[in-house]
Amino acid sequence: MKQKGKEMFPDIVATVSLKDKNDIEKTVEELNMNDKSVDIVEFRADTLSDTSLENINEVLGALKSKYTASPILFTYRSKGQGGLGDFDHETYYKLMQDIICNQKADYVDVQLDTYEDNLMNCITRAKNNNVKIIISHHDFKATPDVEEMFVTYEKMAELGADIGKLAVMPNNEKDLLSLLNAMNRAYHQLDIDVVGISMGELGIMTRITGGLFGSRLTYGFVGSEAAPGQLHVKNIKEQLALYNQ
């Protein structure tokens, strides 16, 4: 899937954190107002007040009926990976299978900590249904060393991800360089697209400069910030434009 030639300008993912269907109209209005700054919309199912499978599908369907300008990335982020989700493994797997097999999203984020058999089944069914899989891993405590991060990307590639996403927490400036180094190495050596993010205030620059090191996507928000250090999509677009002058 790897795409060469656009490294400096990654696609901008606009994360939306809805509570219920009442938030859709305002969210769609903001997405439309920032249409030139949005390439993909990430629907965070774990932020819903009611996370029953029925309600998740209902709100996702309502959003898609009102917003059709960009592809949809479906994410259910567990508490262990920095989200609000508390599904057990089997419920999480059932949700992923439903979204993938019924083509309810163009991209689906599947966490690396998913049981491997379940993860492999998701990937197989995604390929059969023309759904792109992002395998993700988040470390909110620290930044592993370069080799460990590269091995994580390597594992994502071996599992069959279309995109491997790694987000880590920096404790100093050297950690930023470590993340960018690992991502750049993965970009050149592995046959998948990669995403690398250093989170928090210290890591903000990686959300802007990551494309220079091979990051396929960068994540911003509309509405409210969904991760530490996340920028509004308009801000990201404006800062990326500085590199095109």
Is position 189 annotated in a ligand binding site?
no
Q: Is there a binding annotation on residue 230?
A: yes
43 is in an annotated binding site: yes
| 3-state SS assignment for residue 64 | helix
Query: Is 125 labelled as part of a ligand binding site?
Result: no
Please name which of 95, 94, 102, 90 lies closest in space to residue 48, comparing C-alpha atoms: 95
Q: Of 137, 165, 232, 234, which is the active-site residue?
A: 165
- Helix then strand then coil, % of the chain, to nearest 5: 45, 20, 35
Q: What is the DSSP secondary-structure string of 125-149?
A: HHHHTT-EEEEEEEESS----HHHH
Q: Which amino acid is at 159?
A: L
Active-site annotation holder among 104, 132, 137, 138 = 138
Please check if 9 is assigned to a binding site: no
| Catalytic residue flag (residue 138) | yes
Four-residue CA torsion sign, 51, 52, 57, 59: negative
Contact in structure between 63 and 98 (CB atoms under 8 Å): no
Nearest alpha-carbon partner for 31 in 44, 22, 40, 21: 40
> Is 111 known to sit in a ligand binding site?
no
Catalytic residue numbers, as ranges: 138, 165
Q: Which residues are annotated as a binding site for 3-dehydroquinate?
A: 42-44, 77, 207, 230
Annotated binding-site residues read 42-44, 77, 207, 230
